[in-house]
Amino acid sequence: MDFQKLAQVIEGQDQVEQLPLSIIRVNPFQPRKVFDDEALQELSDSIQEHGVLQPIVVRKKVSGYEIVVGERRFRASKRANKTHIPAIVRELTDQQMQELAILENLQREDLTPIEEAEAYQSLMHNLHFTQEELAVRLGKSRPHIANHIRLLSLPADVREAITSGKLSMGHGRSLLGLRIPRQMSLMAQRVMKEGLSVRQLEKIVQERTAVSRGTKALKQKNIFVQEREAQLRDALGTNVQIQQSKHKGKIEIEFYSDEDLERILALLQLNDIE
């Protein structure tokens, strides 16, 4: 079942039941870990005054129910000291539950970059999707999927900083260029302390990379080369450096695992070369 048909499963004019909150459990496949407290309180206040205007969707379990769609309404209702909530009961498999949970949050743009990356990785692992297959099913570009999944290679403290909004996804992608987790963490602390922009961070990472390779200084690249680097980074979902001299040049493409290498080779259509 594709996502469009799957989404239609939860739509319709089915009979709405008033279910006790006490017998409802949250979705075990919920990709979102962070719920904005202020927004949740606003929803709770609205429910206190007007009630729950849109039923949640649940599935029946041996004991009680599990939420398919509507965890924010569930949490806000509990905060508003409600005892029951309007709900529509659906029959869904674990796979459908997982796909719907991710689909709902992606459509509402409720996930942080790290939560989104973990959701993609979970779908790939549990449902055996490739990045290309997942991109097609979700209506996302393959580089979008790849760029998010790469964030999971960051140290835990850096991932937490991105989740909390202290660092952006762009900062995270730039930090990956340092390769060494300890250096990533230290540089992330500096970024937060000094309020460095993504561009400023990119320049620092490039300078450090140049020094580590034994070069005397990082030559200023013209705007044409910088634009081509950006295009390649977006297309391949990894760090790309173009080094250019008077008579020749080279393109350096980074990868972080055997799987990542195979992914890049497939994109370059080199995977069939013996």
17 is catalytic: no
From residue 28, how far is each of 34, 68, 105 by CA, in Å? 14, 9, 14
Q: Which residues of 232-268 are buried (b: 16+ CB within 10 A; e: fewer)?
A: bbeebbbbbbeeeeeeeeeeebbeeeeebeebbeebe
Residue 88: burial class (beta carbons within 10 Å; 0-12, 13-18, 19+): buried
Check 38, 42, 66, 71 and give the catalytic one. Answer: 71
CA 118 to chain centroid, in Å, comes to 6
Residue spans of beta strands (DSSP E) within the chain: 17-20, 24-25, 56-60, 65-69, 84-90, 240-244, 249-253
Instruction: Report the alpha-carbon distance of residue 272 to residue 85 in Å, rounded.
Output: 56
- Catalytic residue numbers read 71
